[in-house]
């Protein structure tokens, strides 16, 4: 089984990758299109040069790798993907070869978290528009993608991980809730810039607080992303 988990930034995506990495039957990969995305766009992201030098930058090659079997003999291949990495010129036909899952989070929470790491984000950098486009592409292929809301998941990780595993026809959800602090060997090159909090964790964080009170451009940005989030929220698994 190949699982493509589609998220925007500042979500539960890295913790979810760590959870699947706890399974002895699962190999994981961290944002395989990131190098191609930076190579194509030239955007000035933290550690840009190291990321481009250390990753495959041909999107066609990356797509082929994602549609094939895992790089190990493990039967499950979990792929953590950022929706905004999928530029219009990048292939999407390989989506038919994987089980697609969508991880969503309220844009007010995403914007507040993103601003702590990077100034003046644009809507396209948050991945909401692309997430809908990829979801619709999966529907057009006859798939029924799974949608997970990160905030709702954190209210009861065990119960909700069991629901996710049931939807994926997997067992042993209870083994996926704890991991060692300090990161994972599959972390991307960029981990030391973005993954500080999750590297200190040994499991999923508890329930989130109330929505942050945004003002000015941050509030405007979150409002512009909200319809895309709500469209997928209506289709969530729990």
How high is the pLDDT of residue 209? 96
Cβ contact 82:31 at 8 Å? yes
Strand partners, 146: 101
Cβ contact 113:13 at 8 Å? no
Residue 69 has pLDDT above 80, yes or no: no
Mean pLDDT for 69-87 is 92
Residue 84 has pLDDT above 90, yes or no: yes
Q: Give the model confidence (pLDDT) of 94-130 as tens digits.
A: 999 999 999 999 999 999 999 987 788 899 999 999 9
pLDDT band at 44 (very low <50, low <70, confident <90, very high): very high
Backbone phi, psi, residue 15, to 5°: -60, -40
Q: How far is CA 12 from the centre of its chain?
A: 7
Report the mean per-residue pLDDT for the chain. Answer: 96
Mean pLDDT for 177-201 is 95
How high is the pLDDT of residue 116? 85
Mean pLDDT for 54-71 is 93
How high is the pLDDT of residue 153? 98
Q: How far is CA 14 from CA 44, 176, 214, 217, in A?
A: 22, 13, 25, 27
What does the alpha-carbon distance between residue 191 and residue 14 come to, in Å, rounded to a whole number? 10
What does the alpha-carbon distance between residue 3 and residue 16 come to, in Å, rounded to a whole number? 12
Mean pLDDT for 141-167 is 98
How high is the pLDDT of residue 109? 97
How high is the pLDDT of residue 9? 93
70 vs 145, higher pLDDT: 145
Residue 7 has pLDDT above 80, yes or no: yes
**Number of neighbouring beta carbons within 10 Å of residue 209:** 8
pLDDT band at 68 (very low <50, low <70, confident <90, very high): confident
How high is the pLDDT of residue 71? 78
Residues of the chain above pLDDT 70, percent: 100
């Amino acid at each position: 089984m190949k699982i493509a988990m589609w998220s925007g930034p500042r979500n539960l995506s890295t913790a979810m990758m760590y959870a699947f990495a706890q399974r002895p039957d699962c190999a994981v990969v961290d944002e395989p299109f990131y190098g191609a995305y930076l190579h194509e766009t030239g955007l000035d992201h933290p550690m840009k040069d190291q990321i481009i030098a250390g990753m495959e930058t041909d999107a066609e090659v990356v797509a082929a790798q994602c549609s094939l079997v895992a790089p190990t003999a493990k039967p499950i291949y979990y792929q953590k993907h950022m929706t905004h990495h999928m530029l219009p010129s990048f292939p999407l036909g390989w989506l038919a070869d994987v089980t697609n899952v969508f991880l969503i989070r309220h844009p007010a929470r995403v914007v507040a978290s993103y601003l702590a790491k990077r100034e003046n984000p644009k809507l396209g950098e948050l991945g909401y528009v692309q997430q809908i486009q990829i979801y619709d592409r999966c529907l057009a292929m006859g798939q029924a993608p799974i949608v997970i809301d990160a905030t709702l998941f954190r209210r009861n990780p065990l119960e909700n991980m069991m629901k996710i595993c049931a939807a994926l026809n997997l067992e042993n959800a209870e083994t996926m809730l704890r991991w060692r602090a300090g990161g994972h060997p599959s972390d991307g090159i960029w981990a030391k810039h973005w993954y500080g909090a999750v590297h200190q964790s040994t499991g999923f964080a508890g329930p989130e607080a109330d929505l942050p009170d945004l003002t000015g451009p941050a509030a405007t940005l979150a409002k512009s992303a909200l319809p895309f989030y709500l469209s997928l929220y209506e289709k969530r698994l729990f």
